Amino acid sequence: MAWIEYAYWIALLPLIGFVLELFVGKYTWKRGGIFANLAILGSTIIAIGTLTEVLGGARIDVSVSWFFDGIVVGYLIDPLAIVMLCMVSFVSLMIHIYATAYMDEDPNKSLYFAETALFTCGMLGLVLSNNLLQLFIFWELVGVCSYLLIGFWWYKPEAAAAGKKAFLTTRVGDVLFLLGIILLYFNVSHLPEPLSFKYLFSLEVLEAIPHTHLTAIALLFLGGAVGKSSQFPLHVWIPDAMEGPTTVSALIHAATMVTAGIYLVARTYPIFIASPDALVVVAVLGGFTALFAATLGLVVNDIKRVLAYSTISQLGYMLCMLGVGSIIGAFAVGYSLFHLISHAFFKALLFLCSGAVLHGLANTRDLREMGGLLKKMPVTAIAMLIGALSLSGFPLTAGFFSKDRIIETAYEYGVATNNFLPWIFILLAALLTAVYTFRLWFMAFTGEPRSYLAEHAHEASKIMTIPLIVLAAFALFFGIFQKKFYTFVGANFDSHLIEELAHIGGYHFHHAGHVPFVVMILPAVCAIGGIAIAYGIWYNNRVDVSTFISKENPIYRLLWNKYYLDFIFKDLIAERVFGFVALVAEAFDKYVIDGVVNGISYLVLTTGSRLRKIQTGVVETYATAVVIGVVILILLIGGVI
C-alpha cells in the first residue's frame, strides 16, 4: 500500500471526527473527545507514512474537474506540503490529548472537540490544496472555526467580542487575498487549470504577466498573509483571542491559523520572487513586526498575552526570512519553514504549560499573582523552561538553530543589498524576546508565592503533563534535523526555475558570502544577554520595577496602550470615521432618496385628493362639464382659440 495515494484522508478523517463529535460525542463515556482524538491520530499516522515515501522521492498531484471548466479540486503532496501536514497533525494531536483533561469539566465538551476537529480539518485541507481556489475555501473555513473557538465561552462578553474582532480583522486580509486571486485569474485564464500550482509556476506563465500585475498580486497575497498571520498592522486581534480556552490558543498559535499566512507566501514563492520589489516589502515588514511585537511583550502581565505577542514576533521572523531569501533563492522556503515548525513545537509547549498554570491557579492569568510555582509544579516549570529557552534562541535548542539561520541570512542580505534594516530589526527582537520570555518565567516560577492561589497551586494530571514532555523533547532536539530539513524542503521548487524567475523580479543571488565571526555569535549573545537581564531584574523579584512602570513614564504608557493602535482602529476609524460616514449615508438615504420617493407620493396623493372633489355624484354637474368640454373642443378644432 502506498501511503501517498491515500493522503487526502489526512484532511477527511478530522472532518469525520467533527461529524461524530457533533452528533454522537456527548453520548460517549468521556462526553466528548474520543472521535476527534482518534481521527487526528489517524491523520498523523497517514502523514508520517506519507513522509517516509516523499523522503524517497514520491510526489503526487491529483486533480478532478469541479463545477466549471478549468476549476478543479485535488490534493498535492510535495516536501513543503508533507512537512506542514506532519507538523499540523502531530501538534494538533498533542493538544487534543491534553484537552481531554483540560476541558473535562466543560458542559459543551463534545461541541468543543467537534469545532477543534473541524479547525484541524480546515488547516490540513488548506495545506493539501493543489490550487488557489480550493486553498481559499479552506482558508475561510479556518477563519470561521477560529471565530467559533475564540468565542467558545460566548457568555463572557470579552470572549464574544474577541471572536468578532478576530473575524472582522482577518476579513480585511481575506478580501485582499481574494482580490489577488481574481487579478491572477484575469492574467492566466487561458490556462487549462488557471489556478492550479502545476500550471502557474512556470517561467512562460509568470513571464507573460505584466510586472506591475505580478507585484500587485504578490502584495495582495501578502495582505492575506498579514491578516491571517497577525502581522503589523492587522495583529490587533491576536492578544484579545486569548479569551478562548488555552488549548484553542495553542492550536491557533502553533499548528493552525497563524501559520497559514506564512504557508501561503511559501507556497506561492515563485510568484513573489518574480515580482519586482515585493520581497523587499516582505523582508522589512516581517523584521519590523518581529521587533514591534517584542517591545509589547515587555509590559504585559497576562501570561497568555505575553505568549501571544511572542507569536506575532516569531511569525515576523518567518516572513522576514522569506523576504531576505531573495538573495539565496529556493532555500529561503526551507529556512523559514524550519523556524515555523520549531516554533510550533515550543509555542504549543509554552501555551499548554500556561494552561497547566491556569489549571493549577483557578484561571489566574496575572503574573503578579504568581511566584514560587517551581516547587508546586516542577514538571510544568521545567517544561516551560525548555520552551522559554527555545523561544529565546538559547544555544543548541531548536529555536537557536532556526533563528540563527534567519539572522545570519538577514545580515548577508544587508551586505548584498545595502539594506540592513531587517537584520537590525530581528537582532534587537532576539534580545527583547529573551528578556520578556524569562521575565515571564522568573515572575511565575521563582520567588515567593504572591497570592493565596499561588501558595496552593498544584501540578496538572498526567494526561496533561505527558504532551508537555513530548513537546519539550522536540523543542530541545528538533535542531539536529536542520541540515536534512533545509535540503529536503529547499528542493521543493526547481532551483533553476527560481533563479530564472529572480531575473524577472530583478533579484540577484548572493552565493556563500563571508559572515564575520562576531556577527555569527550575535544571536547567541542576544539570547544569553536577554536572559541575564531578566535574571538580574525578575529572579526572586530582586529589583523593584515599580519606578519604571508608572503611567507617568511616557515610554511605558506608549507600550501599555499598544502604541494606541486599538484606539486608532476602534475609536478613530471604526467609531468616528466610519460612524460619520454611516451618519452621512443615513441622512442621504433619509432626506434625499426617501425625500424624492415621499415627495412624488405626496404630489400624487394631493393631486388625487383635489381632483376627487369634482366627483360630486350629481348628473347635472357631469353634463355641464361634458358640454363645456365639447364647446372647448369645437373652438380648438375651429381655430377660434
At 527 the pLDDT is 96
Q: Give me the amino acid identity at 51.
A: L
Residues 529 and 602 in one domain: no
* pLDDT value, residue 77: 97
The verdict on 467 and 592 lying in the same domain is: no
Assigned domain for 129 exists: no
Query: What gap in Å lies between CA 249 and CA 243, rounded to an integer?
Result: 9
Using DSSP, state whether 286 is helix, strand or coil.
Answer: helix
Regarding whether 415 and 286 lie in a shared domain, the answer is yes
Question: Do residues 330 and 406 both lie within one domain?
Answer: yes
Q: Is the pTM of this model over 0.85?
A: yes
Mean pLDDT on 81-89? 97
Contacts of 33 (CB under 8 A, 6+ apart): 21, 25, 96, 99, 100, 103, 109, 110, 113
For residue 589, being part of any structural domain is answered with yes
List CB contacts of 601: < 8 A, sequence separation 6 or more.
none
If pLDDT is split at 50, 70 and 90, which confidence band does 253 have? Answer: confident
Model confidence band, residue 549 (pLDDT cutoffs 50, 70, 90): confident
551 has a pLDDT exceeding 90 = no
In a domain, 485, yes or no: yes
What's the pLDDT score for residue 621? 80
Percent of the chain whose pLDDT exceeds 70? 99
Q: Tally Cβ neighbours within 10 Å of residue 594.
A: 11
380-392 mean pLDDT = 97
Q: Is 205 a residue whose pLDDT tops 90?
A: yes
What's the mean pLDDT in 221-235? 93
**Same domain assignment for residues 572 and 456:** no
Q: pLDDT-based confidence at 512, cuts 50/70/90? A: low
Cell numbers linked to 459: 501540578
Other CB atoms within 10 Å distance of the CB of residue 535: 16
Overall residue count recorded for the chain in this entry: 641
| Residue 73 forms part of a structural domain | no
More confident residue, 577 or 316: 316
**Other beta carbons within 10 Å of 501:** 26
Q: Report the pLDDT value the prediction gives residue 571, as an integer from 0 to 100.
A: 84
Same domain, 403 and 484: yes
- Alpha-carbon distance of 244 to 255, in angstroms, equals 16
Give the pLDDT of residue 80.
Answer: 96
Q: What is the pLDDT of residue 124?
A: 96
Q: In which band, very low, low, confident or very high, does the pLDDT at 351 lie, cut at 50, 70 and 90?
A: very high
Quick one: 543 and 429 in the same domain?
A: yes
Distance CA 47, CA 88 (A): 10
SS3 526: helix
Give the mean pLDDT of 354-367.
Answer: 93
Asked if 75 contacts 130 with a C-beta cutoff of 8 angstroms, the reply is yes
Of the candidate ranges 251-260, 373-382, 392-401, 457-466, the one whose mean pLDDT is the lowest:
251-260
Helices 303-324 & 398-417, crossing angle to 10 degrees?
Answer: 40
Give me the residue label for grid cell 512562460.
204
Q: Is the pLDDT of residue 255 over 80?
A: no
Question: DSSP string of 455-496?
Answer: HT--PPPHHHHHHHHHHHHHHHHGGGGHHHHHHHHHTSS-HH
Kindly state whether residues 324 and 361 are assigned to the same domain.
Answer: yes
pLDDT (tens digit, 9 = 90+) per residue, 404-419?
999 999 999 999 999 9
What is the residue range of 334's domain? Answer: 275-491+514-549
70 or 295: whose pLDDT is higher?
295
Task: Transcribe 35-60 into DSSP letters.
Answer: HHHHHHHHHHHHHHHHHHHHHTT--E
Residue 193 lies in a domain: no
Residue 380, CA atoms < 13 Å, CB-side half-sphere: 28
pLDDT at 573 exceeding the cut of 90: no
CA distance linking residue 73 with residue 131, whole number of Å: 8
pLDDT in tens, 474-505: 999 999 999 999 999 988 998 889 999 999 99
The answer to whether the bond into 233 is cis (omega within 30° of 0) is yes
CA distance 437 to 299: 11
Interatomic CA distance for residues 445 and 360, integer angstroms: 13
How far is Cα 69 from Cα 637, in angstroms, rounded to an integer?
69
User: SS3 string of 335-370?
Assistant: HHHHHHHHHHHHHHHHHHHHHHHHHHCCCCCEHHHC
Say whether both 306 and 355 belong to one domain. yes
Q: What is the mean pLDDT of residues 8-17?
A: 97
CA distances from 593 to 16, 581, 598 (A): 51, 16, 9
**Could you give the number of structural domains in the chain?**
2
Predicted confidence band of residue 427 (pLDDT cuts 50, 70, 90): very high
24's CB contacts (< 8 A; 6+ apart) are: 35
Which residue, among 34, 243, 12, 242, has the nearest Cα to 118 in the 3D structure? 12
Higher pLDDT, 612 or 215: 215
- Mean pLDDT, the chain, as a whole number? 92
Confidence of residue 142 (pLDDT cuts 50, 70, 90): very high
**pLDDT at residue 513, as a whole number:** 66
Average pLDDT over residues 324-351: 94
Min mean pLDDT across 158-172, 339-353, 374-388 is at 158-172
Residue 342 shares a structural domain with residue 450: yes
Mean pLDDT over 571-578 rounds to 84
- Which H/E stretch holds residue 62? strand 60-65
Residues 585, 440, single domain; the answer is: no
Q: Are residues 443 and 587 in the same domain?
A: no
Q: Which tens digit of pLDDT belongs to each residue from 592-605?
A: 999 899 899 999 99
**Is residue 258, in this structure, part of any structural domain at all?**
no
Q: Is-contact 315 293, C-beta < 8 A?
A: no
Q: Is the pLDDT of residue 155 over 80?
A: yes
Whose grid coordinates read 502581522?
231
Residue 360 lies in a domain: yes
Greater model confidence, 614 or 286: 286
**Cell 532556526 appears where?**
402
Residue 20: inside a domain: no
pLDDT of 516 > 80? The answer is yes
**Which SS3 state, helix, strand or coil, does residue 181 take?**
helix
pLDDT for 574 equals 81
